Amino acid sequence: IKRCIAAASAHVKEKRYDVVVGFSWGGGIGCWLLSEKIWNGPTMLLAPTVQVMAKFAWIPLPVFSGSPTQVHIFHANGDPFCPEYQLTHLRSSGSSIHVCDDSHVFQSRESEREIVSTFRQILAEVQ
């Protein structure tokens, strides 16, 4: 996890990104980027596996404050990699939480529409 954070940190500091998008493990890394204040811009976290990552690495969950207009977290009901109880922790961040009736990979049309719509909204606000 620390190596991934370091690698992502190097990229974020080197480039000027409009938005950071992380899926699964990358979503978990995104949580730590926000927590360590390496990144504080628009963010989309898709099924972040942060609870499982922290558990197996024996490290605390990242704590961050996210504006509901800046940080969007997508969670799929029944996702075996993102347990329901991690939602309580993620909700405490103040981020916008999108709960979808879908699988870990968000393959339903409804999820796709919501993810695309949110991404377009973020990009419109950045420009």
* Res 90: pLDDT: 94
* Res 69: pLDDT: 79
Nearest to 12 by CA among 46, 64, 81, 4: 4
* Res 78: pLDDT: 85
- Do 72 and 43 meet the contact criterion of CB atoms below 8 Å apart? yes
* Res 73: pLDDT: 97
Residue type, 3: R
The stretches in the chain having pLDDT less than 50 are none
